[in-house]
Structure 1
Amino acid sequence: MLASIEKYFGIKDANSSWSQEIRAGVTTFLTMSYILFVNPDILGAAITGIDNAFVQLMMVTAIAAGVGSLFMGIVARYPFALAPGMGLNAYFAFTVVLGDGIEWQTALAAVFISGVLFSIFAIFGARQAIVRAIPHDLKFAVTGGIGMFLAFIGMQNAGIIVDNPATLVGLGDLTAGPVLIALFGLVVTGTLMALRIRGAILVGIVAATLLAIVTKAPVYVGAEGLGSFTGFNGQFLGIFAAPVWPSDLVFALDFGKAFELGVMGVIFTFFFVDFFDSTGTLMALANKAGYMKEENGVDDMPRSRRAFAADGFATMFGALMGTSTTTAYIESASGIDEGGRTGVTAVVVGILFLLAMFLWPLATAVPGAATAPALILVGAMMLSGLNSVKWDDYTSSIPVFLTVIMMPLTYSIANGVSWGVISYVGLKVLTGRHKDVHPLLYGVAAILLARYIWLGAG
């Protein structure tokens, strides 16, 4: 039996071993387990009106990550772990629900539909055509812009950035409890990351939480709700407990309004961002694991359709459970560094996420100020791709700049993507370089421009 499993995953063919794969899975889990605290914190801002929202959201985060990683490991047999994606959860909460006023149940339906589209494109091999249509610089810009958006949200959550009637935003009170706890977590996490310590983000969250508990700093939301803070007063409910079934979130999707024009734009953005984010992530991870091969002049990997189909399935399943887009995590690279080469690594990650459902009481003691540094530093890491932008080519660098700056300033990933695509096509045409634009991108730009004209007309 064990020999058959070993052969199925190709452990020996990959020059790996069971101990190596298990160690890699544990490493990947520790590196990305911060999502168990951060995702509920972000989605909780938009998903309201249910009991124990944070705990239920933690449950669905663990379920989505666990099942998604298991599916990737068993079906695609790659050491890539999945979980609700950073950036797309912020888009879901702050742009779609809080910004556009779309009900969170409808937003979940939009996530599900985008997962269906992603799976269809993956199964029929249409991925390469779309990847070729989007220029590399804009792909880097979308990732970098989401990073800026996440960092901006993190600083807001910590109170480092606050409203200012004269300048829109300003510097918060640096002596306030949430700011001090967040700055402490930022220093700890940043130092550990610089020292290449595994699980640095998780350690930073734990350290900031412990400081908040010991000092009783006013960082926990008080009885009056947001804007009211109190010190630690027994939020910690223990360590182990039976999982809480997220009954208010499971199958809560509402497809009734999902095909209206405004929501169709949301579906497109979910699809667009997940498509290119997961494409870039999976290709980078495959290259790191030594799986990338060149076919007809295009870099690709074996079983790529399975890998992308697994990503699409995870998105659909996550939406059914009640969370935003589930996607491949670049933190999987930490497990690959530890020797993970097969799907066993992802299976271990999936099992650990499901086991984490028994640790939900720990999450009740984690304040938003402790997770804010994770948003800031994850955002910072997402800017690395901007190094590859051709900044001396203004027909590319200007759209990149507009993409990156419009996301945090308009509080909308969709606006950043739209301004980037429209300006890219426009500048190429106006400078006589229309042949640089893939025909498919003209259609995308036209749809995005039509959306703005429609919105402008009320």
Structure 2
Amino acid sequence: MDRFFKLKELGTNVRTEIMAGLTTFMTMAYILAVNPLILGGAGLDPYGVFLATALAAGIFTIAMGLFVNFPVAVAPGMGLNAFFATTIITSAATDHPISPSMGLAAVFISGIIFFILTVTQVRQLLIVAIPDGLKHAITVGIGLFIAIIGLKTSGVLKIGIEGWVTSNGNFQDLGGADTVIHMGNLADPSVWLTVVGLAIIAILMVMKVRGAILYGILIITLIGLIPGVDLVSLDGLKDKDWVPQFDKLNFWDFDFGDLLTTGLLTAIATFTFVELFDTFGTLVGTATRAGFFKDKEKGKKLVGKAMFVDAVAVSGGAMLGTSTVTAYVESSAGIAQGGRSGLTAVTTGAAFLLALFLAPIALLVPTPATSAALIIVGVLMIQSIREIDFSDLVIGIPAFLTIALMPFTYNIANGISFGIVSYVLLAFVAGLKGEKTHKIHWLMWVLFFVVIARYVFVGSQG
């Protein structure tokens, strides 16, 4: 095992990798509950979506570990699943409604496009084309993004956004009436338990306790069992279905008809664009956090191989019956725990497959536990900001826009898009003045026009 995963070379061991993998799983396990809720509102069978979510996350995360030796997990992406659902629902009243089967076909096609872009090395060129300052900004932006995810899902922050999901799984259009960020109710058990959990993990980390994040998650879960807190309940475990019913899986449920008349081409374009930058940002951000880009060639090769698995996972997830599968920023939790090899990913993937049989237990971990962990990971990832030279405004302004727009628009792709456009514009202007410091890779020019075209013709969906 040491030889296969190169544990000694990477400065890690089996115990650290397994704990890191379990930590990543616990911060991601919410997708097992949330994805069926969102896609169930789009007309897919919720239990079938649960099976597809666990299988896709398990199979392709293990593949990431075995074939890439990279501590990154993949699963159906938040945001893209919401776009999938709202696209179907908002089209239901039109002359050409989009069915769930057609939506899955669109995801499948976007995966094929990704595979082609990966084989032709176009996706890998992003690593060379994007300046180091923007790469560090992506890491910082993702850190803030996942921190705000933790703050919002726990209720510590209240954020008004469009398309919120109600308790019955249906989408409610809030119309953007409330877009103010403000403090949540500190008397809410979920809020104060998140704060307590944040303190517990922070103290354990300051005391240099190995496995601090994982131990923190477990302690918060136990506190949630205390009567009066009631955020975790063991009632009803006996009534749960512990054996997966694979006959309910929506396998190969595709409808390729009417792709040209229903607006699915726009959906495919949106899936492709968002996933292109979202995955790139996540892979580069996590690889940087893990230290792989200290050797640039090694980091480039690693992320390039990871993109192959990611491309296959997109189409593979659609075949199983779920929306776009993507690399997860929550993988940073395992990396922060010391995960450096594919054994971390294999552990996370195995936990997802085990969740098929232990679904009731896997879903016991309360939101405050994962939220506190994500906030701490945000702290660790933002440390990359010291690598950015903000005195050089050609890098400083695009870096700031990248960092700011990720959490504030709740979208990784938006941050990268504004960073690319602003960098190309400012570097071009600087070049006109005779400054040769900042070179613009030809792919950056392509992305410059693609990004502008995307926002002009497709809008800000996804």
The whole-number CA distance in structure 1 between the counterparts of 2:277 and 2:371 is 26
Moved more, 348-357 or 443-452: 348-357
Secondary structure in 1 matching 2:244: coil
Q: Judging changes above 3 Å, is the alpha-carbon distance between structure 1 residues 156 and 96 closer, same or farther for their aligned structure 2 residues?
A: farther
Secondary structure in 1 matching 2:78: helix
Moved more, 142-151 or 348-357: 348-357
Q: Residue 139 of structure 2 contacts residue 289 of structure 2 at CA under 8 Å; is this kept in 1?
A: no
Partner residue in 1 for 2:223: 211
> Which of 168, 180, 183 is 2:180 aligned to?
168
Q: Which runs of 5+ in 1 are unaligned?
A: 1-5, 221-231
Partner residue in 1 for 2:173: none
Equivalent runs, 1:94-243 vs 2, <5 Å: 105=100, 112-162=108-158, 168-217=180-229, 219=231, 232=233, 234=235, 236-237=237-238, 241-243=242-244
Secondary structure in 2 matching 1:358: coil
2:47 matched to 1:48? no
Partner residue in 2 for 1:225: none
The whole-number CA distance in structure 1 between the counterparts of 2:460 and 2:228 is 52
The whole-number CA distance in structure 1 between the counterparts of 2:35 and 2:74 is 11
Secondary structure in 1 matching 2:357: helix
Query: When the two structures are superposed, what TM-score results if normalisation uses the length of structure 2?
Result: 0.73
- Residues 1-44 of structure 1, C-alpha deviations (whole Å, 9 max, x = no match): xxxxx8xx955x95979xx9754653342232214523235545
Q: Which runs of 5+ in 2 are unaligned?
A: 92-97, 161-176
The whole-number CA distance in structure 2 between the counterparts of 1:302 and 1:310 is 13
- How far apart are residue 446 of structure 1 and its match? 1.3
2:428 matched to 1:436? no
- How far apart are residue 174 of structure 1 and its match? 1.0
Equivalent runs, 1:270-285 vs 2, <5 Å: 270-279=275-284, 281=286
Identity among equivalent pairs (%): 28
Partner residue in 2 for 1:229: none
Partner residue in 1 for 2:272: 267
Q: Judging changes above 3 Å, is the alpha-carbon distance between structure 1 residues 253 and 153 closer, same or farther for their aligned structure 2 residues?
A: farther
Query: When the two structures are superposed, what TM-score results if normalisation uses the length of structure 1?
Result: 0.74
Partner residue in 2 for 1:405: 404
Q: Residue 72 of structure 2 contacts residue 286 of structure 2 at CA under 8 Å; is this kept in 1?
A: no
The whole-number CA distance in structure 2 between the counterparts of 1:203 and 1:238 is 29
The whole-number CA distance in structure 2 between the counterparts of 1:330 and 1:234 is 33
The whole-number CA distance in structure 1 between the counterparts of 2:334 and 2:309 is 15
Q: Residue 315 of structure 1 contacts residue 327 of structure 1 at CA under 8 Å; is this kept in 2?
A: no
- How far apart are residue 144 of structure 1 and its match? 2.5
Equivalent runs, 1:249-328 vs 2, <5 Å: 250-251=251-252, 256=259, 259-261=264-266, 263-279=268-284, 281=286, 287=292, 298-299=297-298, 306-321=305-320, 322=322, 324-327=324-327
- Residues 60-84 of structure 1, C-alpha deviations (whole Å, 9 max, x = no match): 444233312432454x3x5334423
One-letter amino acid of the structure 2 residue matched with residue 190 of structure 1: A
Q: Residue 318 of structure 1 contacts residue 326 of structure 1 at CA under 8 Å; is this kept in 2?
A: no
> Which of 70, 93, 101 is 1:80 aligned to?
70
One-letter amino acid of the structure 1 residue matched with residue 242 of structure 2: A
- How far apart are residue 404 of structure 1 and its match? 1.8
Q: Judging changes above 3 Å, is the alpha-carbon distance between structure 1 residues 32 and 271 closer, same or farther for their aligned structure 2 residues?
A: same
- How far apart are residue 274 of structure 1 and its match? 0.9
> Which of 21, 26, 36 is 1:29 aligned to?
21
Partner residue in 2 for 1:92: 80
Q: Residue 422 of structure 1 contacts residue 445 of structure 1 at CA under 8 Å; is this kept in 2?
A: yes
Partner residue in 2 for 1:374: 373
The CA RMSD measured in Å over matched residues stands at 4.4
Q: Residue 113 of structure 1 contacts residue 316 of structure 1 at CA under 8 Å; is this kept in 2?
A: yes
Secondary structure in 2 matching 1:242: coil
The whole-number CA distance in structure 1 between the counterparts of 2:178 and 2:306 is 49
Moved more, 92-101 or 127-136: 92-101
The whole-number CA distance in structure 2 between the counterparts of 1:334 and 1:168 is 31
- How far apart are residue 393 of structure 1 and its match? 0.9
Secondary structure in 2 matching 1:150: helix
- How far apart are residue 276 of structure 1 and its match? 4.3
- How far apart are residue 270 of structure 1 and its match? 0.6
- How far apart are residue 442 of structure 1 and its match? 1.5
Secondary structure in 1 matching 2:327: strand
Q: Residue 136 of structure 2 contacts residue 384 of structure 2 at CA under 8 Å; is this kept in 1?
A: yes
The whole-number CA distance in structure 2 between the counterparts of 1:152 and 1:390 is 25
- How far apart are residue 116 of structure 1 and its match? 3.3
- How far apart are residue 132 of structure 1 and its match? 1.5
- How far apart are residue 176 of structure 1 and its match? 1.7
- Residues 364-421 of structure 1, C-alpha deviations (whole Å, 9 max, x = no match): 4343333322332333333233222121111111111112212332333333222222
The whole-number CA distance in structure 2 between the counterparts of 1:104 and 1:137 is 43
The whole-number CA distance in structure 2 between the counterparts of 1:204 and 1:104 is 42
Q: Judging changes above 3 Å, is the alpha-carbon distance between structure 1 residues 52 and 381 closer, same or farther for their aligned structure 2 residues?
A: farther
Partner residue in 2 for 1:391: 390
Q: Residue 71 of structure 2 contacts residue 335 of structure 2 at CA under 8 Å; is this kept in 1?
A: no
